[in-house]
Structure 1
Amino acid sequence: MARFRAYTSDSSDEGSSSEPEAQELHVDEEEEEDESDQESTGASSSSDMQEDELFTSPSRPYKRPNRNALVEDEDGEIRYAHEVEDDQRLSVRVSPASSSSPPPPRNRGDPTMIPWAQHVGVDAQKMHVMQTSLFRMPEEAAALKAMNQQTKPNLRVPLQSLSRKHSRDSDGDGLRFEPRERPSFAHNIDPPAYRPSRKYARVESSESAVHGNEGVVVDAGLALGRSFRVGWGPGGTLVHLGKLCGPSSTIKTSANSATITSTTVPTVTNAAHVSDLSSKLLQHHLSNSPIEPDDDGIPFAAPSSALNFASFASLFPSTDRSYEASVFRLGEALFDEIDLHLGSSITVDIRNRVIALRRKAALSAWLEDAVIPALEADLRSNPSASSSTVAFTFLTGNQVDKACASAMDGGYLKLATLISQAGGDFDFREDLKEQLQIWRDERIDVHIDEGVRKVYTLLSGVVGDVIEGSKGGGLEKCSDIDVTKGLDWKRIFGLHLWFSEPIDAPIGQVFRAYDQLTKDASRQVSQPVPWYAEQTTNATSSSSWNLPSQPSLPDGLFSLIRLHAEPACSLSQILSPLSFGSSPVDYSMAWHLYIILSRCMGVRDFADRGEPVGRSGAHTMMDDDEDQEEDGIQGHSPSADLLASMYAFQLESLGMVQEALFVLLHIEGPAGREKAIKDLLARTASKLDEWMTRGVVGSLKIPMAWVNEAKAMYALDKGDMFDAYQLFISAGLYNPAHDLAVLELAPDAVIRKDLDLLKEIFSKFVGRPVDGWHIRGQAFLDYVHIMTRLPELQAEQAHNTVADASQATEIDELTRSVSKLIGILPDVLRNTSDIRHRAALSEMVAGLVAQVDKVRPLALSKVQPMLSDETTKLRHIHSLAFARFQSSLS
């Protein structure tokens, strides 16, 4: 065991005694070794060293042990040495034995001796404060060492409690634990589990788990991260590694990271049809959309109010029964303005009533035409049907005349008389319901032809399976009569419109009746599925997309009827690509409907439309609504911009660049519109020939500078540096043109010693806002000026018999500027890996030094120029020596 003495006083004015009082304290041998290691390596702080010197005397040299070491006291607890020492001093001073007997005499030593710390002027307290604020305290080092030495048997301090105030994960301290409350002092708090800080070690590639097994990784894009992730290219091209697969797919082949695969993703099912349709619709759209710069100077397309559903429907022949033509005709019936031909004296209530009736009549006419294909298909599929059944089939399309003729041909004269009164008043319907109830009560309904009962049921206004009983006002089910069986959703909706609801019922009431019927779980009613889901056997409905067997989105025609019937419905709920086609990325119809309904007619908008803003993007406050409409002020909608971007991408994938640019002109945000157009021009720069450029600039009013910028990037990609430089200049992009001139064009011109070309290249930047012009491009102009002007001045001096002071001054200025120019040339031609830069730098330095050597060799005597080769250096040394020789003679 090691022993040391604890003194009763630590003041610096006391000398060291020869036999001081001491109390034996036992310290572990390991702690003694740790303490000696700290003293040998200089780990102790300067304040501890000063305190140790205070207790050292010449008569008895003594090195005081570290007061911050962890020691074991008499009770077996681990404490700091200075705490144990202070307790011992206090016990000696306050104990009864010490108070009853005087303390033993103490030898003060030589009173003339001055401690070394006081002699050199070191304040122990000040040193301790500086050490605490700048360095780690010794007790912290001891705490760290105690945490690392968990195997010590005598160390009973919990490791979890040893944590500094300011934790450093690099030292392994972990997080500092906050104090916790305990119910009483009799209950100890269990220390929290020690959680060391996470450290990440760099693994060499040779020790990696993937080393040597790269071929077994199926998805290399996922394994190698962002460096090899999937990327989209022009025209919907997808560039990827390996094979495209889903998360649950099983691939037997491995992916090679050196092989890149290019896949074209189809955006539409029938590309030819979509191209022709989009071209026709966009051409009509362009002819009615003036393109003007907005407040930020960015071209913006503002569709006029002349673009309505009727104008688009007129593009299709009257015999065209395509889905797109049906969409525009339905929109014309529901949303286009109706000329009522009413006088100004008509009240608003009457006017609204007339409009509702006219809307319903227009919807009925559209629906009659829309269900003709399905009606004719039913007649062809059942040629042996009875006359009553044929009459019912005609009634499902509201063809009352043909239904009457069919009933008469079959001998059903009374039935034909009833059919002629289809859609009659309530008394007529009540009589038919009473007749159906009588047949049911007398149980003779099973002996009546089913077609006749269907006609009676339909004419009575019962479309569901419930009829109102004539006796007692109760409800009875007519389970054996289902007039909706085998009908598509348009004809079922037509039954509500023509026979079930009153003639003066609004469209909204008809829509709610049909919607309630489709939501009835007890009925198997045809849902309003999209057209391609109904025509599963049609070859034109085949899609390259994996669509669900049960479509979750309704038909686009049904969505338009819902939009008219529900005032709270927004465009965000109905404009889905799968509602109008079998491709989830075909946004053609959705975008055109948005333009008509929102931008032209103002009927409805997206749900995320913000506050009214100007076309420049700044919020405006205008009281006059008419002024707002004239200025085209409207709120910004991110969904509208996203819809335009998606449709433009679809057109780009089809090769319709001008059409895609026109769609991007409808983006509302000016910054996003500019970026989207420039990006599209950059991707399709190879197609920007003279004819297309004329159309883009002339018809679409896109700035020529944007087109030149795209062409410049394409020329730069091909390696045509001079063409790219000229195009950047034409586009007004002087910074990239300047960089291109310095790094690519100037070295070639210098090597060929074509000073005129060099001057022509950089003279275009004079007076332009170019970054770093004075230390880059200006250097080449200075080089040209020096190389051309110095020979001229030298020749003029040779012909002049009398020295010209102005010429001498100009020569001095030019020669002094040579040293500065040579100093910045290495930074201008900085690409040392390019041999042209090294050759051009050598050529420029050699030429400048040669010109200076001819007129003022001493101008470079005090400068260490970067000379190109030994020949130039030797020539300069000869010129310099000769000039000094001449000056010594004079």
Structure 2
Amino acid sequence: MLEVQRNQSSITRIDGLPLARLGHVDFAKFTKVSHSIQSDQELAIWQLANILFNDDIEDDISAGVPPQFRLKYLHRIKKDRLSRLWEGIVRERNTHAVGKAGSPEERAIYLLCAHRVEEACNVLMTSQNFHLATLVSQIGRDPTTRRDMAQQVEMWRQHNVYSEMSEPIRALYELLAGNSLRSEGKSGGALEDRASTFTFSERFELDWFQAFGLRLWYGISDNDPLEVAVSKFTEDLSSGQEPAFPSPFNQDKDRGVWYSSTDTLGRESPLWVLLKAYSATLGAAKSPVISTLELPAVLLPESVTGDKLSNRLPFQLCQVLAAVLGRYEHLNVNVAQMDQLVWDYAWELSASGDLSQTLFVLLHLSRASDRERAVKETLARFAARLPEPLTPEGSPSATWQQLTSDLQISESWIWMSKALYARDTGDAAREVDCLVRGKNWNDAHATFCRIVGPTAVIEHDYATLETLLSGFGEAPDRKVRGWANGGGVYEDFLRLATARGSAREPQRLNRLVEALVTSGETIGRSGGVEGLEERVAFKEMSRIVAGWTAQENAKAIELSRVLRLPLTGDARLVQTAEMSRRYYNVVMAGGC
């Protein structure tokens, strides 16, 4: 399901960092995902959202309206679509309701609660109640008939006729009169003239789907938009007269519970939240009785999924509503809480091991600093699994392209995470390579001079030395601080060590000797384990350089400078003997 949102999102750089935002929301695609991925409850949510917020649906309902009139009758089209969806929900949830009815009239009530008008008429006709069956066949259609029936009901009440009717029959007449909430009885007068007062939801144990359906089908006229029914239900809930509270699917066990508290934030069905959001913002007859909705408080995981640790659907619903309705005054978006929902869902994805989706969700954070920190932390957590730019076969890596191109994650961040992982595993050469490829020149140089360069010199691993030094590219002294006394020393040594005999450059050799002398004096003052590899490497380079100076082609090096090299005792003894031999050879040659 997240992939549907991802395909409709655009990722742009804001404040130099990638930011994900929904563009045009295509609700229809959310409804077409396989049922194996989403539950029936979630499918109903997306179907309702598609009906309410998508004006471009092409179906059999819109096909019956000429294109030039569709905008004019859009409210009727939406209402008919909602009616069909609501009928399916009610029938699925209350399949056994008709069977528990104790009389034909009560059975007709349950059938009407699912908008099964024809079946209700058949039940009444079978029971020989032809007059009521005829009236029910016209239910919810003619405002004049509804008004006349309301007057008739009031007359019956005043003249004590109601006391002679059963409650189901009274309920049927009330529905014919457009009253979808309660039947007012009569508590005073003679005992035989009294009639009970009851709400339909209590008397017939209706859930909120049935109760709202009564407003939608029988409480408003055909020309009224659906938001009028939403307003009626909202008013009845707010006044405390309607006990069928719109609880979430996961709280079906609370059906019939009377909610006397006015604090319903976060305890309402997401379907009801969608209906209120539409009615308060986009509805042609915007309802003044619906208070401002706040995201994500009205769509918390507890009410949407019933699980505080299941954040995917709340995250998607909040992002979608914020994208579609964020500019309207009756919808407030709490940015801090939206960010917290992003963090919660990203944690959930991270725990499941889904790197790409985790990063995509984190790119919805509002603050650039939070996005940077979150992405870097996630990359570090998945460092062992981060891809390479190329597959082992040499073709471009799809995962690498997904991270760097689709999500626009900085390559340097990925290489830095790889470098940290290499450091953790003790692979210093790999660490330098990753730092270099991520263009973290100074960090790469520091690690190279501290561990990798010295180790390569000690082990005479000139191939590794060549590979890592070449990674710094041309003119490394312009990229790296202290290159001349660090990586430059190893570069000069490598070029001289891999040169053939007379091919060694005197200028480079002089520079190397001077650098070794200077650096030797510095590192010679350090002791302990720290810097041990570097000290050993400099002594090894000095030993090799001293050997070169003994050759005929290296006589340009001053002997006094060679003695200042950081040599070991044995190497210094050998070099002193060689210098003495060369000195006496010169003396003897002069005497001849």
Question: Which bin holds the TM-score, normalised by the shorter protein?
Answer: 0.7 to 0.9
Once the two structures are superposed, the pairs formed by residues 741-752 of structure 1 within 5 Å of their partners are: 741-752=448-459
1:774 partner letter: A
SS in 2 for 1:371: helix
Q: Is the 8 A contact 1:308 1:596 kept in 2?
A: no
Match of 1:792 in 2: 501
Name which one, 1 or 2, has greater alpha-carbon Rg.
Answer: 1
CA distance in 1 between counterparts of 2:483 and 2:382 reads 32
- Is 1:767 the equivalent of 2:475? yes
Once the two structures are superposed, the pairs formed by residues 421-436 of structure 1 within 5 Å of their partners are: 421-436=138-153
Match of 2:209 in 1: 490
Once the two structures are superposed, the pairs formed by residues 558-597 of structure 1 within 5 Å of their partners are: 558-567=272-281, 569=293, 571-597=295-321
**CA deviation after TM superposition for structure 1 residue 787, in Å:** 5.1
Match of 2:228 in 1: 509
Match of 1:362 in 2: 81
The equivalent position to 2:49 in structure 1, one of 331, 342, 352, is 331
SS in 2 for 1:566: helix
Match of 1:783 in 2: 493
Residue segments in structure 2 that go unaligned for 5+ positions in a row: 187-193, 256-263, 282-291
| CA deviation map 1:212-235 (0-9, x unaligned) | xxxxxxxxxxxxxxxxxxxxxxxx
| CA deviation map 1:563-613 (0-9, x unaligned) | 11223545445332223111224332233234444446877597459xxxx
Once the two structures are superposed, the pairs formed by residues 419-568 of structure 1 within 5 Å of their partners are: 419-443=136-160, 445-465=162-182, 479-485=196-202, 486-521=205-240, 523=241, 525-535=243-253, 552-567=266-281
**CA deviation after TM superposition for structure 1 residue 420, in Å:** 0.9
* CA pair 358-299 structure 1, distance change in 2 beyond 3 A: same
Match of 1:414 in 2: 131
CA distance in 1 between counterparts of 2:323 and 2:156 reads 57
CA distance in 2 between counterparts of 1:289 and 1:394 reads 44
- Is 1:723 the equivalent of 2:430? yes
Match of 1:141 in 2: none
Q: Could you state the TM-score of these two structures normalised by the residue count of structure 1?
A: 0.53
- Is 1:312 the equivalent of 2:30? yes
- Is 1:823 the equivalent of 2:542? no
Match of 2:571 in 1: 872
Match of 1:684 in 2: 382
Match of 1:284 in 2: 4
CA distance in 1 between counterparts of 2:183 and 2:108 reads 22
**CA deviation after TM superposition for structure 1 residue 451, in Å:** 1.5
- Is 1:404 the equivalent of 2:137? no
Bigger relative contact order (CA 8 A; separation at least 6)? 2
CA distance in 2 between counterparts of 1:532 and 1:409 reads 38
Q: Is the 8 A contact 1:458 1:483 kept in 2?
A: no
Q: Is the 8 A contact 1:857 1:876 kept in 2?
A: no
CA distance in 2 between counterparts of 1:536 and 1:864 reads 92
Match of 2:288 in 1: none
Q: Is the 8 A contact 1:861 1:880 kept in 2?
A: no
**CA deviation after TM superposition for structure 1 residue 336, in Å:** 0.7
Q: Is the 8 A contact 1:779 1:821 kept in 2?
A: no
Q: Is the 8 A contact 1:713 1:724 kept in 2?
A: yes
- Is 1:652 the equivalent of 2:350? yes
Q: Is the 8 A contact 2:294 2:333 kept in 1?
A: no
Q: Is the 8 A contact 1:465 1:478 kept in 2?
A: no
**CA deviation after TM superposition for structure 1 residue 415, in Å:** 1.6
**CA deviation after TM superposition for structure 1 residue 399, in Å:** 1.7
CA distance in 2 between counterparts of 1:732 and 1:388 reads 80
CA distance in 2 between counterparts of 1:762 and 1:831 reads 28
| CA deviation map 1:704-727 (0-9, x unaligned) | 655444444333333333333333
**CA deviation after TM superposition for structure 1 residue 666, in Å:** 4.8
**CA deviation after TM superposition for structure 1 residue 872, in Å:** 3.0
* CA pair 400-875 structure 1, distance change in 2 beyond 3 A: same
SS in 2 for 1:833: coil
**CA deviation after TM superposition for structure 1 residue 674, in Å:** 5.0
* CA pair 742-552 structure 1, distance change in 2 beyond 3 A: same
CA distance in 2 between counterparts of 1:415 and 1:831 reads 103
Q: Could you state the TM-score of these two structures normalised by the residue count of structure 2?
A: 0.77
CA distance in 2 between counterparts of 1:326 and 1:707 reads 40
Q: Is the 8 A contact 2:111 2:120 kept in 1?
A: yes
* CA pair 867-287 structure 1, distance change in 2 beyond 3 A: closer
Normalized per residue, the structure richer in helix is 2
| CA deviation map 1:287-334 (0-9, x unaligned) | 44566x6477766656553x422222233579x981111111111221
The equivalent position to 1:840 in structure 2, one of 510, 513, 537, is 537
Aligned residue pairs, count: 541
**CA deviation after TM superposition for structure 1 residue 374, in Å:** 2.8
The equivalent position to 2:399 in structure 1, one of 696, 701, 725, is 696
CA distance in 1 between counterparts of 2:547 and 2:482 reads 28
CA distance in 2 between counterparts of 1:412 and 1:885 reads 138
Once the two structures are superposed, the pairs formed by residues 100-119 of structure 1 within 5 Å of their partners are: none
| CA deviation map 1:349-406 (0-9, x unaligned) | xx875233333333222222221223214235x2x62111110011122221121122
Give the RMSD, CA atoms, in angstroms: 4.2
**CA deviation after TM superposition for structure 1 residue 561, in Å:** 0.8
Q: Is the 8 A contact 1:759 1:784 kept in 2?
A: yes
**CA deviation after TM superposition for structure 1 residue 883, in Å:** 6.6
Residue segments in structure 1 that go unaligned for 5+ positions in a row: 1-280, 470-476, 538-549, 610-636, 797-805
| CA deviation map 1:184-207 (0-9, x unaligned) | xxxxxxxxxxxxxxxxxxxxxxxx
**CA deviation after TM superposition for structure 1 residue 518, in Å:** 1.6
CA distance in 1 between counterparts of 2:96 and 2:384 reads 50
* CA pair 816-464 structure 1, distance change in 2 beyond 3 A: closer
CA distance in 1 between counterparts of 2:295 and 2:379 reads 30
* CA pair 478-783 structure 1, distance change in 2 beyond 3 A: farther
1:767 partner letter: A
| CA deviation map 1:505-559 (0-9, x unaligned) | 34333323212222234x460222211111479xxxxxxxxxxxx9852111111
1:557 partner letter: L
The answer to which of 729-738 and 391-400 deviates more is 729-738
1:731 partner letter: G
Q: Is the 8 A contact 2:301 2:311 kept in 1?
A: yes
Once the two structures are superposed, the pairs formed by residues 64-103 of structure 1 within 5 Å of their partners are: none
**CA deviation after TM superposition for structure 1 residue 819, in Å:** 2.3
* CA pair 413-771 structure 1, distance change in 2 beyond 3 A: farther
